[in-house]
Amino acid sequence: MSKKTKIGIIICDRYRNCAGGKCFRALQNREGAFDIYKNDEDVELVGYTSCGGCPGGNIEYAPEEMKKNGAEVIHLATGFVVGYPPCPYIDDFKAVITEKFKMKVVVGTHPIPQKYLDIHGKTGTWKSEAWQEKIKPTMTDEKTRIDYN
C-alpha cells in the first residue's frame, strides 16, 4: 500500500467563491506544487477554506481544524501569488502555521497560468529572489501554464 498524505488548502479570500477546479485538477494530475507527491502516493484533501481576508484571521484557526482531520501539509493556493497585488502576508502565514501547528507549508497549488506570468513579468512583481523562491513550486512548462489560463 502506498503512503497516504493528508493535506489542506487555504485560498486567498479575494477568491473565496472559487470552486477549486484548478487546484483539484492539479492535485489529481500532480502538477504545479502538487508534483512533490509521487503518482502512486495517495493524497487526501481534508480541508479547503479561505484565509478569512486580510490580514488572514482564519490562519489562526483553519490549520488546527485541518490538523484534527489528519492534515500534515498546508498548501497556500496559487492565488496568493498571482493576485494583484500578491499577498504580502505569505511569509507570516507560513511562519505561524509552521510554528503554532508544526505543519509543513507549501506555497502554491496549481501551476501559474501563463496570463499571470505574462503580467507579473511586465510589472516586475516577481523580480526579487524571495518572489522567485515563492513561485518556484508552481512554475512549469509553457504548455501546462497555457492549459491553466
Please write the tens of the pLDDT for every residue from 33-51.
999 998 778 999 999 999 9
- Residue 57 in domain: yes
Beta bridge partners of 78: none
Q: Domain containing 64: what range?
A: 4-143
- Whole-prediction pTM: 0.95
Please choose, from the candidates 129, 109, 88, the residue with its C-alpha nearest in 3D space to the C-alpha of residue 31. Answer: 109
Q: Is 56 contained in some domain? A: yes
Report d(CA 130, CA 90) in Å as an integer.
11
Q: Is residue 19, in this structure, part of any structural domain at all?
A: yes
In a domain, 148, yes or no: no
Counting the structural domains of the chain, the total is 1
- Please indicate, yes or no, if residue 41 is contained in any of the structural domains: yes
Structural domain includes residue 128 = yes
pLDDT(76) > 90 = yes
Torsion of CA 94, 97, 103, 106, to 10 degrees: -30
Give the integer Cα–Cα distance in Å for 71 and 19.
20
Residue 149 lies in a domain: no
State residue 2's pLDDT score. 66
Cα 85–Cα 131–Cα 118 angle in degrees, nearest 5: 60
Q: What is the pLDDT of residue 41?
A: 82
Rounded CA separation 81/61 (Å): 22
In a domain, 91, yes or no: yes
| pLDDT tens digits, 2-21 | 679 999 999 999 999 999 99
CATH of the domain at 17: 3.40.50
What value does the mean pLDDT take over residues 43-68? 96
Q: What residues are paired with 48 via a beta bridge?
A: 9
Residues 6 or more apart in contact with residue 134 via CB below 8 angstroms: 81, 86, 90, 107, 108, 126
pLDDT digits (tens, 9 = 90+) for 16-36: 999 999 999 999 999 999 999
The whole-number pLDDT of residue 3 equals 76
How far apart CA 54 and CA 32 sit, in angstroms, is 25
Which pLDDT value is given to residue 40?
Answer: 75
